[in-house]
A = this chain, B = another copy of it.
Amino acid sequence: MNFKERLAAQAARVDKLLEEYLPEESGHQKTIFSAMNYSVRAGGKRLRPILMEETYRLCGGTGTEIEPFMAAIEMIHTSSLVHDDLPAMDADEYRRGKKTTWVVYGEDMGILAGDALMIYAFETATKALHWTAYPERVVRAISILAEKTGIYGMIGGQTVDVELTGKPVPEDKLRFIYALKTGALLEASMMIGAVLSGADDEMVKKAGEVALLVGMAFQIQDDILDVTSTTEELGKPVLSDEKNQKTTYVTLYGLDAAAQKVKELSERAVSLMHEIPGENAFLEELILSLVNRLK
């Protein structure tokens, strides 16, 4: 199997795993089950669970207690998209070519579906207890999940992003938004993989640092692609940042400096990743594909 085939197989495996945890659509509260399932099934590349599992294997993990956390991180990611799309936030009616959750289920159910996924992620994560002899690792992993998702992570980044919409963004705040809004869930993915495998604190820290570098590179590459590629290549509208008068790494420093920064960050990420002992060829390709993600 080449890299692309293996990545597709992993994504299919995550889809299957998610199905095992998603609620059955019956009972009085059926609507919320449907809205959750619709949101999760709308797809995506499942990169966070794949990154989590690969880090777990790299650090020597061989069990199945990683699986509930793989499902959980994707639920959290989905919940943030569901709330981001709401009329009071980005007011998006389509995502990945499908109607967004609030358009299909109403604004009230859109709010509740995001809440539901967020909480159900934690409910799902606790199921790891059944498959490990190390309950304290489960608590530490839940702690990372919450910290990187919440006010010191993703939600913190979203707050600043929302506040600065339509305003000029100074560099330190742009960095903050990139690190927290995009970087934090990648950090959580790799750190949880490391924690559940039993890796020591130094390795867990290293995994987090790799993920943060990847997150920054990913986001700057996003800025570049918005300017340099076509809608067909990218799979979403280009020049949207210019249209929305958005401050990006490209508007601040220009294309060349941005490209240089991506190169520098991804090289540092890969080199740091090599300090974690273990079979890492796929993870290296995964990191580089995340950064250079033209189809």
Contacts and interface: CB of A to CB of B under 8 A. Distances in A.
B160 A29 contact: yes
Given A29-B159, A118-B118, A151-B33, A126 B108 contact: no
Nearest to A115: B155
B109 A111 contact: no
Contacts of A157: 29
A147 interface: yes
B111 A151 contact: no
A101 B142 CA distance: 28
Contacts of A127: 143
Contact of A150 (B119, B147, B180): B119
Contacts of A87: 88
A156 interface: yes
A120 interface: yes
A286 interface: no
Interface residues of A, number: 56
Given A88-B111, A115-B83, A139 B155 contact: no
Contacts of A146: 119-120, 122-123, 126
Contact of A129 (B111, B126, B143): B143
Interface in A161-177: 162-163, 172-173, 176
B115 A88 contact: no
A184 to B, nearest CB: 11
A295 interface: no
A227 interface: no
A129 B136 contact: yes
A88 B32 CA distance: 16
B158 A112 contact: yes
Contacts of A108: 88-89, 162
B111 A155 contact: no
Nearest to A165: B108
A182 B114 CA distance: 20
9 contacts: A28-B156, A29-B180, A31-B159, A32-B151, A86-B111, A88-B107, A89-B108, A115-B115, A120-B146
Interface of A: 23, 27-29, 31-33, 36, 79, 83, 86-89, 107-112, 114-116, 118-120, 122-123, 126-127, 129, 135-136, 138-140, 142-143, 145-147, 149-151, 155-160, 162-163, 172-173, 176, 180
